[in-house]
Structure 1
Amino acid sequence: MSSAEHDVEKSQDGTSIEKYPTKTYVIDDENNRFDVASIDGVQRRMKQRHVQMIAIAGTLGTGLFLGSGQALSGAGPVGALIAYILIGSVAYSSLCSIGEMTSLAPISGTFPHFAARWVDPALGFALGWNYYYTNVMGVPVEVSGAQILITYWDKDPSHAGIYIAVICVGVSAINIFGVQYFAEAEFFFSLIKITMITGLILLGVILDAEPGNGPNGGRLGFHYWHDPGVLNGAGLEPKHLGLDRFLGIVSVLVQAAFSYQSMELVAVAASETKNPRRNIAKAVRRVFYRIFTFYILGIFITGLLIPYNDPALLHTSGTAADSPYVLAMTRAGVKILPGIINAGIMTSAFSASNSFLFCSSRVLYGLALRGQAPRIFSRCTKKGLPLIAVLFSAAFSFLSLMSVSSGAETIFSWFVSLTTVGGFFGWGSINLTYLFFYRGLKAQGIDRKQLYYWSSLQPYLSIWGATWCALLILINGFEVFWHFTASKFLTSYINIPIFFTLFTFWKITKKTKVRKPLEMDFVTGIPTPEETESPEIPPRNFAEKVAAFLF
């Protein structure tokens, strides 16, 4: 064990950037492989505007735009709102946790490596492969969703395979071209998604407030909160109304989680981002407003437009026709917008699959760098692209072709269940890792308030997030205990034995140990602020001030 000395660093404006104690412990060795700078070939090509737009809307997909109708029918307007607020708080806790850890260490491998470095290498191995699986399966989920959306215009089932193949090739090509092409594509798609969700919310407010849209020719207002009501039951305990309504809220939690999934993408991209500490800190600070505006406000407006017992919500097609906004517009006599909304949702599905592929390939690359995946996946091109990891991950997108023969909606819902439970493990492990990280900093005398980003709500946020993730893993498939089917039970709970098998395998084969606070390594392989951050240039005119505010 060796030690290193660091002083408080100052940026050009005189503010503190990082602060390390007199002694910082280093435990790097061949088994840990913390210092991989010599073989880490990725390059920092993402700009500030890319990172901010990806943080705002990078993973908005079919889960939000179409899932809101299912959430409304499953739990009622207030029940769906409660579910989205709860899952939003868990997602926020995870983002705050990973934001602070990334502020210290903006390196390849991100939180699976943080778990290996600060908790236990076995947890890092299990988390890394679980998160890889979750994201790589998210690609065919969104590809399937995009293909279903195309049936809004082309209902010929014989064309489904062609559309899926084209989407898969397009998503793969963007990632193969390199991170700069991925970043530009996501910037463009994020603009579309932000414009669309903002427009839908504003349109929803207009439809709700405009006279003539209500049942008696007046305003809608909160009419549907009174008739049929604010809560809907799950239909599992009809003789116990209160319990049934509670189960209705629980049934929507998984759907809500799929809508929020992979919000942590911005941290995964830290190793390929210019000025990562400053940009990711800014992105994480804006997460709360993103959750409130797009998710909470969106589901609130949805509950005002359509009653939860509307028959149209029960017959899902997978297209924009399922959207409560489209249903409300159609009934208000608006004819042209549904097709436009469907096109916007389709680009969202394409964008989400693009983001999942990027995320999965970088996690696989990070595992390979540190010896927890075959070394071949750590190979990079001269332009910093982990090509083998991208190609291997892209191959899984073609699993969406299964929907051609098995039914797109069935395959879609099956993948949703598998990926969402894996996401709970990811969020839970992020929060658990932060608790170790927090304890280690405190034990070694490192002032976390000197980092670019820190949250005054920690460590309570992480305790909240980790607790709820553990509960959600256990209850996500609760309906199967009323109406048991083997397929539903497996998709709900197969991730539990998979995760702990991975953990046990690495624990036994590598004889790993839980990190002690004074032995945690906060130095090795982590670039200093001088190596990653360039001086921030203040805006010089009105246009630059607007850009600085937005991005």
Structure 2
Amino acid sequence: MDVQPTPRGADIEPKVEDHMTEKSVAHSGSDVEKQAAPHTQELHRKLKSRHLQLIAIGGTVGTGIFIASGTSIATAGPAGALIAYAFVGTLVYSVMISLSEMATYIPIAGAFTRYASRFADPSLGFSMGWIYWFSWAITYALELTAAGLIVQWWNSELSIGIFITIFWIPLTAINFLPVDFFGEAEFWFASIKVVALIGFTIFAICINAGAGDKGYIGFEYWKHPGAFAPYLIESTGGKAKFVGFWAVLIQAGFAYQGTELVGIGAGESANPRKTMPTAIRNTFWSIFSLFVSTIFFIGILVPYDNESLLTGDTNAGSSPLVIAAQLAGVKVLPHIINAVLLTVVLSAGMSNVYSGSRILVGLSEEGCAPHFFQRTSRRGVPYVAVAVTAMFGLLAYMNLSDNGGKVFNWLLNIIGVAGFIAWACILICHLCFRRALRAQNISPDTLPFTAWGQPFLAWYGLFFCSIITLTQGFTAFMPWSTEDFFIAYISLILFVILYVGHKIITKSKFIKPHEADLVSGRFHEEISETWEDSPRSRWKKAISSVF
């Protein structure tokens, strides 16, 4: 769409208001009413940058890297798994910098689940928000189950139901405390994970250099049994190794899922324009460095054909960190790792309830969920949303019966693919956000944070996230299995049903760029430059004048 130049020095804010829809104006007005309402006070902005980073790390660094990484190496080999985690890391990077632009400009509760309704399509916001909330609510039940299994490693005679109850009560209670208390608790819990992975890196360097029973190892396991593992196909050729690499992508996506949670806290950040870019950037590089280094060192300490990598347990017995220590002759480490795993899942459980409750608040404020989810205490805690999200953790009790366990496993399959769906939706939101900026004559250079490489990185991430989402269930076709097909694609099917159902019932229309709401919820700051006056525009003019 062609944009008419604005005279130098003109204020662009009136232009933004002129393009606002009636819905946007009504929404802005409702914000004022909610501030006056006694039961719908706003969330308090008390989270600091370090809190935002550790909340995201707490929700991301969990069993995916401490335990499931062993399965990834067994499936694709050390080099295949390393490339897969690094590749998915580039997709996460495109998501994070896209999210950073939007979250610093409009830091609101629920963050990216609401951007879809504002910039792209209300039906997209509805379906994305609900499936994302459901995935985190179910993940809470998963973490409670994992916590019980971890304790059972020390005493298998105790029922897992005992520990589900013991851990559910305090983890839920912490989320009813003011957000700064929660942020501080999550900060220290998540710090244990970071220290554990850094400690493993130091340990791995020493063992690889010859401190263990095996002596100097180097890259011996990359030669025998090999750097890449064949998967499914009865061949050792390139096709079988590529299939192994592709199969690990969804596992890597599950491990990275939660990195975007730093954007959920935008509505409770003390100074979002300053803290959000730093928090998002530091969160990504912290998680990426921890994951890639951990996968690399596991790959040089444990051969991919080690049978212990495929036990499927959820305790120290199947952790590749423990297997590496056992191969090196270190006996005391399994108990330490199991204790660390317990803090890992408890920290992740706290983040699950926090993120899920804030997503419910965002859905409610967009009219996609009942209004009572917006109710907050005097100290800014959305207690109704917290209670409803925490109740889903009790689904962990289904593991006490055989039939219930099967249903529970079906629910868990929603989690992995839901992450890729959410990432694709965030990138769509960002592309629509950029389109709206241009339509409303707002330069990207005037944003609090401007990401490099956009919109090309957003298109790159969207393409591969979509491809992985559509192809991740390819094993159901080799050979065909109806049950495996629905297990692999249940989250995508649910997403489509939610989207189509909302579109039919509400008859919602796609948001036009010049009508997108770029005002409500902003941290207002006067913008004096237009697209015509922006540094990027002047730079392009200078280049064109030379050539």
TM-score greater than 0.5 by the shorter chain: yes
Name which of 371, 378, 386 aligns with 2:374: 378
* Residue 350 of structure 2: aligned partner: 354
* Separation (CA, whole Å) in 1 of partners of 2:262 and 2:299: 30
Name which of 466, 469, 472 aligns with 2:465: 469
Q: Does 1:228 align with 2:225?
A: yes
Q: Does 1:27 align with 2:21?
A: yes
Q: Does 1:312 align with 2:304?
A: no
Cα gap change, 1:423 to 1:288, in 2 (>3 Å): closer
* Separation (CA, whole Å) in 1 of partners of 2:166 and 2:26: 41
CA contact (8 A) 2:230 2:236 kept: no
Aligned partner of 1:120: which letter?
A: D
* Separation (CA, whole Å) in 2 of partners of 1:411 and 1:512: 34
Cα gap change, 1:58 to 1:500, in 2 (>3 Å): closer
Aligned partner of 2:96: which letter?
A: L
- Structure showing the higher helix proportion among its residues: 2
Map 1:530-545 → 2, pairs under 5 A: none
Aligned partner of 1:205: which letter?
A: I
Cα gap change, 1:34 to 1:117, in 2 (>3 Å): farther
CA contact (8 A) 1:329 1:335 kept: yes
Query: Displacement of 1:256 after TM fit?
Result: 1.0
Map 1:279-358 → 2, pairs under 5 A: 279-358=275-354
Query: TM-score with structure 2 length normalisation?
Result: 0.88
Query: Displacement of 1:345 after TM fit?
Result: 1.3
* Residue 547 of structure 1: aligned partner: none
CA contact (8 A) 2:398 2:405 kept: no
CA contact (8 A) 1:95 1:284 kept: yes
Cα gap change, 1:204 to 1:529, in 2 (>3 Å): farther
3-state SS, counterpart of residue 23 of structure 1: helix
Map 1:144-543 → 2, pairs under 5 A: 144-156=145-157, 158-210=158-210, 213-214=213-214, 218-234=215-231, 236-239=232-235, 241-406=237-402, 414-529=410-525
CA-to-aligned-CA distance 1:375-400 (integer Å, 9 cap, x gap): 12121111111111111111100111
Query: More deviation in 44-53 or 364-373?
Result: 44-53
* Separation (CA, whole Å) in 1 of partners of 2:235 and 2:509: 51
Cα gap change, 1:85 to 1:409, in 2 (>3 Å): farther
Query: Displacement of 1:213 after TM fit?
Result: 4.1
CA-to-aligned-CA distance 1:309-356 (integer Å, 9 cap, x gap): 011112232111212221121232222222111111111111111111
Aligned partner of 2:124: which letter?
A: L
* Separation (CA, whole Å) in 2 of partners of 1:481 and 1:368: 40
Cα gap change, 1:472 to 1:209, in 2 (>3 Å): same
* Residue 135 of structure 2: aligned partner: 134
CA contact (8 A) 2:413 2:490 kept: no
Map 1:86-125 → 2, pairs under 5 A: 86-125=87-126
Equivalenced residues, count: 511
* Separation (CA, whole Å) in 2 of partners of 1:475 and 1:399: 29
CA contact (8 A) 1:132 1:360 kept: yes
* Residue 546 of structure 1: aligned partner: none
* Separation (CA, whole Å) in 1 of partners of 2:74 and 2:406: 19
* Residue 530 of structure 2: aligned partner: none
* Residue 16 of structure 1: aligned partner: none
3-state SS, counterpart of residue 259 of structure 2: coil
3-state SS, counterpart of residue 226 of structure 2: coil
Cα gap change, 1:233 to 1:417, in 2 (>3 Å): farther
* Residue 45 of structure 2: aligned partner: 44
CA-to-aligned-CA distance 1:261-319 (integer Å, 9 cap, x gap): 11111110111110122111101222442243211111011100000001111223211
CA contact (8 A) 1:76 1:232 kept: yes
Aligned partner of 2:297: which letter?
A: I
Cα RMSD of the aligned pairs, angstroms, is 2.4
CA contact (8 A) 2:49 2:279 kept: no
Cα gap change, 1:8 to 1:200, in 2 (>3 Å): farther
Aligned partner of 1:149: which letter?
A: I
Cα gap change, 1:413 to 1:204, in 2 (>3 Å): farther
Cα gap change, 1:20 to 1:189, in 2 (>3 Å): farther
3-state SS, counterpart of residue 156 of structure 2: coil
Cα gap change, 1:435 to 1:357, in 2 (>3 Å): same
Query: Displacement of 1:442 after TM fit?
Result: 2.1
Aligned partner of 1:27: which letter?
A: T
3-state SS, counterpart of residue 175 of structure 2: helix
What are the ranges of 5 or more consecutive residues in structure 1 without an aligned counterpart? 1-5, 10-18, 531-551
* Residue 545 of structure 1: aligned partner: none
Aligned partner of 1:33: which letter?
A: H
* Separation (CA, whole Å) in 2 of partners of 1:484 and 1:168: 39
* Separation (CA, whole Å) in 1 of partners of 2:337 and 2:437: 48
Query: More deviation in 363-372 or 489-498?
Result: 489-498
Query: Displacement of 1:74 after TM fit?
Result: 0.9
3-state SS, counterpart of residue 176 of structure 1: coil
* Separation (CA, whole Å) in 2 of partners of 1:448 and 1:322: 48
Query: More deviation in 174-183 or 307-316?
Result: 174-183
Query: Displacement of 1:30 after TM fit?
Result: 7.6
CA-to-aligned-CA distance 1:452-508 (integer Å, 9 cap, x gap): 322112111111111111111111111111144444222211222221222222222
* Separation (CA, whole Å) in 2 of partners of 1:408 and 1:454: 48
Query: TM-score with structure 1 length normalisation?
Result: 0.88
* Separation (CA, whole Å) in 2 of partners of 1:368 and 1:347: 32
CA contact (8 A) 1:42 1:384 kept: yes
CA-to-aligned-CA distance 1:167-217 (integer Å, 9 cap, x gap): 122221111223223211111111111111110111111111125543xxx
3-state SS, counterpart of residue 249 of structure 1: helix
Query: More deviation in 509-518 or 269-278?
Result: 509-518
What are the ranges of 5 or more consecutive residues in structure 2 without an aligned counterpart? 1-5, 35-40, 527-547
* Separation (CA, whole Å) in 2 of partners of 1:369 and 1:206: 53
* Separation (CA, whole Å) in 1 of partners of 2:26 and 2:76: 47
CA contact (8 A) 2:78 2:222 kept: yes
CA contact (8 A) 1:109 1:363 kept: yes
Cα gap change, 1:229 to 1:374, in 2 (>3 Å): same
